[in-house]
Each structure stands twice: as C-alpha cells, then as structure tokens.
Amino acid sequence: MDAVLQTRGLLSLPTKPKNSVFHPSHGLKHRFFNSKPKNFGGVSLSTNIFQKVNTFVPSKSNHVFSLKERNLFICRAEAAASADGQPLFDEKEIEKPKILGIEVTTLKKIIPLGLMFFCILFNYTILRDTKDVLVVTAKGSSAEIIPFLKTWVNLPMAIGFMLLYTKLSNALSKQALFYSVILPFIAFFGAFGFVLYPLSSHIHPEALADKLLNILGPRFLGPLAILRIWSFCLFYVMAELWGSVVVSVLFWGFANQITTVDEAKRFYPLFGLGANVALVFSGRTVKYFSNMRQHLGPGVDGWAISLKAMMSIVVGMGLAICFLYWWVNNYVPLPTRSKKKKAKPKMGTMESLKFLVSSRYIRDLATLVVAYGISINLVEVTWKSKLKAQFPSPNEYSSFMGDFSTATGIVTFIMMLLSQFIFDKYGWGVAAKITPSVLLLTGVGFFSLILFGGPVAPIIAKFGMTPLLAAVYVGALQNIFSKSAKYSLFDPCKEMAYIPLDEDTKVKGKAAIDVVCNPLGKSGGALIQQFMILTFGSLANSTPYLGGILLVIVLAWLAAAKSLDTQFTELRQEEEIEKEMERAASLKIPVLAEKNNEGGNGSPESVSPLNPAAGGSSSTNI
C-alpha cells in the first residue's frame, strides 16, 4: 500500500527533486493537505504530466527512473487514482464558469439558437396562414386548388431546390450557403407584399383562365386556378419551402453542427417549447393585422394593408435570423467534428428507394412519415373547403387562422410538457401510437359531421351553430390536436428512432426518407384528392371515400409503429450491451500500457522506482 500512496505523491514533486522525494515519510496526508501545495494548473495526468516529469528527471547518476519506467510510473499512478475513487486535482481549478448550472459557452450557443428558432417559426406561422388565405379565398379559386398546387408546383420546385442546394453546397462555404439560401426568401416575401400583390390584377391572366374553364368544365377549376393566380401560388410554394428548407435544412443543420450530443439532449426539447410560444405570438399578430379592415374607410383594400404589415415583420425577422447566425459564427467557439463524419452519401431517388426496400426498420419508419403526410392532407384540405364557405372574406379567413395558430401553440405547449411524462412512464411505443390514434378519432368525428350533418342539424342548432360552422370548429379541433401530437410526440419519436442505428444506416436512412418519403407524404394525399375530384366532380362528393382511405392509412400507420417499437427496443438493448463492453474494455487500458512499457519480450528489466527489489511491480507491497 505504501507504493500506491507514494505514487499519489507525484502531485507534490518539487521542481528539483532529490532521491528523498519518494521517502516513506512523505505520505498521502502530507501530499494532499500540505499548507502550500504545488499547483500544476490542472493539467491532465494522462496527457500532459509526462512533459512535466521530463523537466525534473534527475541525472543519470541518480538512476531514479528511466524513460520506460517513467511511463510505467505514470500509468500506475493513474490506475491507483482511479481505483481509489478520488480526483488527483482540485475540480474547482478546471471547472468552467456557469450561470444557473449551465456553462457560459453553452449558453452562448443555445440562446442565439433559441432566438433563431423563434424567429423562423414566427415567420412560418404568418406565412402558413397567409398562403392559405391567398389561394383559397382568391376570386376563381377554392380549396380544391391545394392538391393540384402541392403536386404540380410545390413538388417540382422542391426537387429543383434540392438539386440546386446540392450544387451550391459543393461550391460555397457553409456560411455563404446559409446566406445564399435565406436571403432570396426574405427578398421575395418583401417584394410580394409591396410589389406583386398590388399589381396582381394586372399580372394575372384571368380572361384566359375564364375561357379555358368554359371549355374544360368546372372539374378543372383547381388546375386552372394555378394559372389564374400564379403569383399567389408562387407565394404558397415559397411559404411551404420556408418550412422545409429554413427550418429543416438550415436551422437544424446549423444546430447539429455547433452543439454536442449532450447539449442536444438537454436543450432540443426546449426549442420545441419555444416554437409553440412563437405560434401563440404569431397567431395574435395575424389576428391583429387581419382585423385592421374594421378601422379603415370604405373602398380601402384592407387585406393589402394587412399583407404589407405582415410581410414587413417577416422581412425584419429574417434579417434578425441572419444577424444571429453571423454572431454565433464570429463570437462563439464551435466544437470540432471528425472529418470522417462529414462525408454524407449522395443518394438519388432510385438509390433511396432501394435502400428503403432493403431495410425493414427504415421501411417502417418511412411508413410513419408517409402515413402522417397523407392523413393530415386528406383531412386538412376538406376542412379548408368548409372554412372558405364559412369565412369567404380574406380578412375573416385570416383572422380565424390567427386564432387557430394561437390555439395550436397553446395546446402543443401543454402537450410538450406532458410528452416527457409519456416517454418516461410508457416508453417510445406508446408515444409513437398517440398521434395516429388522435388523428383517427378526431378524423372520424369530422367526417361523420360532414356526412350526417342534416340529421343532427336540430341538435346543433340548440348550441347556436349551423352544421357548416360546427364542421369548421370540429375540423379546427381535429387539426389542432393532430398537429400538437405531431410536434410534441411524433417528431421526437421519429428523430429518436434514428439514434440506435449504426452511422451508415442512420445517414442513408435519413437521406432516403428526406428524398422520397417527405415529398411522397405531402403529395400522396394530394394525388388521392385529385383523383377523387376529377372522378366525382368535387371534394364534397368525395368525402365518404376520403374517410375510408383515411381509416386504412391510419391502421397501416399503427401497425408500422408497433413493428418499429419492437425493433427499436432490441437495438437499444444491443446498444446498452455494447456500452457496457466498452466500459469493461476501457478498464484494461492501464494494464495494456504497463505491458507495452515493459518491453516486447516481457522481461522484468525495468525496475519500479517505488520498490526496486520487487521486480517492477508495485502490487507486491499491497
């Protein structure tokens, strides 16, 4: 035991040691509780102390220890320290400055990221509500334009952006790429509010659209409306791309670049809470500017004034995002990444499809993504058609959407707080099944009210509502609870499902789902609705069939979630076993270092300086 105690005394070695530094009288208490301890600045024993030891090695005549013996001495000192369970250095000397228990360097990253996320989601809510108002309430258009718009305009532009972004990422730096992508969005939304919308009556080919509609018939109202209000459709697509590009690609790509895994586990859920706070504030903002029409004189286009005010806010928030991005890159120390992890496979559509088919785990995960996209689209478009019938004015429609966004933010905030309890209490599987269950139950109520609104009209009238208004409110509740479940449970479940995968499968699987499943989920429901509209004449006539399709898709969704839960649990168990094995293997490192320092033939020619007579092993004295 004396040898171990003397080893710990390495911390108090004098600048010019003599042979007496290893004298037994200098025990552990003397080393650690000396009134004037020598301070080495908190250096790591296993990395930097060897250089310190070299500076006070005695002359060859003293023969205290040689190069090999010094390595052996340090290795045993570290092993003895870990075995004793006590730190070799004062932890306060190496502790980083903290505020409220959080390191200052971490706060300098997390606070700007949170503000960026707030600004991005604030803009997204304004843009999402405005795009629906523009295309649904425009003259000669209706909610039936949305399926055609998502398929024939939104999807091609999304693919085009993906190709352009890939080329730009190879040619530009990360910062230049960020600005090159976000600044055109900011410029477009500003130009739309102040230039394109005021000139819409002059640049829209309404006469040509009317002529084609008379020739083709009312079934082609949706496709022809894209031509009739092309600038509004362009705004719709740019607003959609803001959600997928700025949120998913730019923000989360930047956040994953500058945060560590531990920071992400701790603070990413808080971003979700901040996003819902943004929903509440932006919803109030939309409602405020939408009600400006009440205070304007006759003949004034209140919607044009509201649009200018909201687009001004969007531009201001966009510039704030750019400033925060610039500040973080210039004033925050960012973590270094392994170069090997930066290489990402570039998968085309066919490669993505092949990878999806080859992996059951990724296939089930893809089913979740596609099923959500189709299900929410089937219900949402039908609801918006009823919403236009109830609120035909753009200002009334926009005001209702402001209330809708505020309610969505509040409910999602509450669900976010409950989600942690759900994950801890019931696990991943239950959390993954809540979203489809909510969507199924609320969807059944919505479609039932549309189909059987006549028989229940007297009952609804007792509450002061018409069947149409009741359908609008029930559809709003359906969308609120579905979206809140999606934000608080579905998205975290989807991202967590990637964690236990190996690096190759994780990167390729996410790439495959981003390339194939996200567009398929968004456009799949639109394609189904297009087929129904062209076959049965309108969305109203297609309602019973859309309800049946929704039931089939949600049941497939639940089956995929159950299958994925089993595989996810197995992978987590394997990951835990591997971690335990790595911990066990790490305990052998000091022993391996000792063997390497003894020489290739294992001969005991290196004698321990602590006990020269023991043949090089300090364990003989214990």
Dist CA 590 CA 600 (whole Å):
16
Q: How many residues does the chain have?
A: 622
Check residues 301 and 613 and name the one with the higher pLDDT: 301
Structure-model confidence comparison of residues 388 and 267, the more confident one: 388
Q: Express as a percent the part of the chain with pLDDT over 90.
A: 14
The fold of the 347-568 domain, in CATH, is Growth Hormone; Chain: A; (1.20.1250)
Instruction: Specify whether the CB–CB gap between 245 and 181 falls below 8 A.
Output: yes
Domain boundaries, the chain: 103-333, 347-568
Tell me the C-alpha distance between 18 and 38, whole Å: 16
Which CATH number is correct for 103-333, 1.20.1250, 1.10.3470, 3.30.450, 1.10.10?
1.20.1250
> For residues 612 and 63, what is the distance between their CA atoms, to the nearest angstrom?
11
State the average pLDDT for the chain.
Answer: 75
Are 263 and 105 a contacting pair, CB within 8 Å? no
Bigger pLDDT: 402 or 582?
402
| Sign of torsion over alpha carbons 611, 616, 621, 622 | positive
- What is the dihedral angle through the alpha carbons of 462, 466, 467, 471, rounded to the nearest 10 degrees? -110
Query: Residue range 428-434: average pLDDT?
Result: 88
The predicted pLDDT at position 507 comes to: 66
Whether residue 285 has pLDDT greater than 60: yes
Q: Which residue has the higher pLDDT, 471 or 15?
A: 471
Place of tokens 């109830």: 390
pLDDT tens figures, 505-526: 776 677 667 666 777 787 788 8
Output the pLDDT for position 610: 41
* Beta carbons within 8 Å of 471's beta carbon, 6+ residues apart: 383, 386, 446, 449, 450, 453
Of 177-191, 257-271, 417-431, 458-472, least confident by mean pLDDT is: 257-271
Whole-number pLDDT of residue 317: 95
